[in-house]
Every structure is written in structure tokens, then in C-alpha cells.
Structure 1
Amino acid sequence: MTRSQPDSPDARNDGERAHVVGIDPGLNRTGYAVMSRPDGKLVLHEAGVVRSTSGRSLAERVAEIGNGLVEVLAEYRPEVLAIEQVFSLTRNPKSALLMAHARGAILMTAVDGGARVVHYTPTQIKKLLTGSGKADKDQVGRVVQAELGLDAPPSPHDVSDACAVAICHLHSHQDSGRRLSA
């Protein structure tokens, strides 16, 4: 698992701030971003990628994704886990089914960790962030960079997309700077 922690003295959920974990699910790499919005300002506490080991069985890879996220959820105790929905089964059925396995592990981990799960389509996320549901990954990355005041867009795209999911949720729920009810 690759973790990065931007400097933030208030990284842990102390009950005063509601943390949201944004997830860009994938079987090879699952991007995550832990954010909050105290006083109306977006704060990125941590972002990274949980990787599964190529060549291992599907069950082992799904377990690696779930176990990697258990660490993050235990550390931050988020109120909400916002996750991107699976894309079209008709265009990429094998990819969608493999991603669905990873999503299952992620959803179970979230529920076991006490987080409420909220789903967003890629089009919803892109439209809210960029104004266009057809924005490409670079456009989304630049908006994430601007929203979070970063020097560069988060990398890899899995992390940028996870940040976008969290930002989408925080902008969609004006009460997200306070403790959320389940």
C-alpha cells in the first residue's frame, strides 16, 4: 500500500470533524483520499493507493484491497465512504466484473468500520467538479489540484480520482464539515 500524508495537525477524526474517504475502486490499484471540510475549507489528510499483487488468486487480491483499506478506516474513522460506481458492463464486461469484486471488499470494509456508503457515477463526479460529465482525467486532476491548493494534480490518476469522489461528496453535502448522521 502506498500512503502519503500531507502536513495536517488535525488529521485524526476527533469527533468535531467528519472525515470522508473517497474511493476510486480497482482490482490492481484502488485509490483513496481522506478529506474533511472544517470551517468550509477542504482539507486533504491522506491519499494513496492500495495495490493488489498480480499473479495471486482473485480471493487473495480482493483481500489485499480490503485489508489495505481497513488500516485507513481504523486510523481516520470516517463518517462516510464515497465510492465511484462501476462503469458500463456492456463495454468492458470482464473489467467491470473484476472491479465489482474489489468494490465488494471495499463496501464490506466500510460497513464493518462503521462508515455510511454513498455511490456516485463517474458522470456525476465529473459534472460537479468540471461542469462537464465528459471531462477527461487530466481536467479532473487540474480541478482537484485547484480545489485542494496543491502544487500539482495528485498522482497517479487513481489518487486524483479518489480525491474527486471525496470532493464531490463534500460539495454535495453542505453539512459535511460537521459530524454526519448515519
Structure 2
Amino acid sequence: MTSAKPIRILALDISTNPGFAVLEVKRLKSGPRVNLVHVTSVSTTSQSPDSHRYSYIEAAATMVLHEHGPFDVVVREHYTKGRNKRSTQTVFGAWAVIDLALGKYGYKADVEITPTTVKKDVTGKGSASKDEVEAGVRRILSLPADFTFRTDDESDAVAIGLSYLVREKIIKPGRRNDGALN
């Protein structure tokens, strides 16, 4: 028996190979249950013109919005600058087209969380490696051993959503819950 309406979260790890995660939280009398509803990523190549890359990213974002909405909150990792000018430009280009897709469906990114905070909330340490972040995500969601993330961008997107839930005090940092993959 649920005590409140489920919360649906779209979590974004934005880059030129973005990850998208949809989490749903059901508030049960026994405590919150976090379900991983959907996770995906897209891969682009620097060999393609930026216009092609951005069109593909926007299409992927639109597909996730269309197929898995509505959402109560949209959260993304905070980004300030990349390794160099070109890296920064391409990430902000991806950011812009994802914002465009969000806007078409009446959404905007509600929350941004720093990478260090995401790592700390999911693993207990702000300097965690990609493998440690994935392990934290697996532990918190109790994912089956045969579940595979295709990319780090996918596990990072899920981690961003989980970090939001920690920030909002819906779940406790690093704590295992009864979540399942739908």
C-alpha cells in the first residue's frame, strides 16, 4: 500500500554521449522503493559534424521524454568547463539541445548536482572512480548480477538521480533499498 503518489525523476548525464535514466520512487509504509524504469545512452563521434551529433542527441532526449514521461523532476549533473575550449563547446551544445527537447515537453532542468556530490552520495567518497560509482548504484538499487550498463554515462545518469533522492532526504546515502528494474 502506498502512502503518496510515486515520484518520477528524469536524470541526465549530459555530454556528447549523454546518459538518460528514469527512476520512480514509491513511498511505502516500509520505506521508499526506488525502481529503475529506464536507462539508455547515445553515442556520437567527433568524426560527425556537430549538427548531426546535436540532432541525434535531441532526438534521443525527445524519445525518452515521449516514452517515459511525465516527470516530477528533471535533474542533471552540474557542468562548468571541460578539458579544453572545444570540449566545453560540445558539451554546452549537447546541453542546449537537451534543454530544447525538455522545453518542447514543458520541462526544464529543475536541479543541478556537482559531480563530487553525486559520487559522495552514491559511494561515500567524492573522489570515487567510475567503477565505484557503478558499484554504488548497483548496491543501492539491488540490481541483479546479470544487469549491464552499456556505458559509464548510463550508470552516471542513474547516480545523478539517486543523488537527488539523497539531497531531498527521500533515501539515505549509499543505503540499499528494495528497488528493482521494471
What's the TM-score, normalizing by structure 1? 0.79
Structure 1 residue matching 2:42: 3-state secondary structure: strand
Aligned to 2:19: 31
RMSD between aligned residues: 2.2
Secondary structure, counterpart of 1:35 in structure 2: strand
Out of 86, 98, 110, the position equivalent to 1:106 is 98
Among 43, 49, 67, which residue is 2:41 paired with?
49
1:30 deviates by: 1.0
Out of 130, 140, 143, the position equivalent to 1:137 is 130
Counterpart amino acid of residue 20 in structure 1: I
Cα offset, 1:160, TM superposition? 0.5
Partner Cα distance (1:159, 1:125) in 2: 14
Among 73, 92, 97, the residue aligned to 2:89: 97
Native 8 Å contact 1:79 1:115 kept in 2: no
In 2, the alpha carbon distance for the partners of 1:20 and 1:55 equals 33
TM-fit CA distance, 1:144: 0.2
Of all paired residues, the percent bearing the same amino acid is 28
Q: State the partner residue of 2:177.
A: none
- Identify if the C-alpha distance between structure 1 residues 75 and 42 changes in structure 2 by more than 3 Å, giving closer, same or farther: same
Deviations 1:114-162 (A, max 9, x none): 2341211111111211222111111111000001111346331111101
Q: What amino acid sits opposite 1:80 in the alignment?
A: V
| Structure 1: distance between partners of 2:63 and 2:8 | 15
Deviation at 1:104, TM superposition (A): 0.9
Structure 1: 5+ residue stretches without partners: 1-15, 177-182
Aligned residues between the structures: 160
1:65 to 57, 62, 66: 57
2:19 pairs with 1:21? no
SS at 2:79 equivalent: coil
- 2: CA distance between counterparts of 1:97 and 1:44? 31
Normalised to the residue count of structure 2, the TM-score between the two structures is 0.79
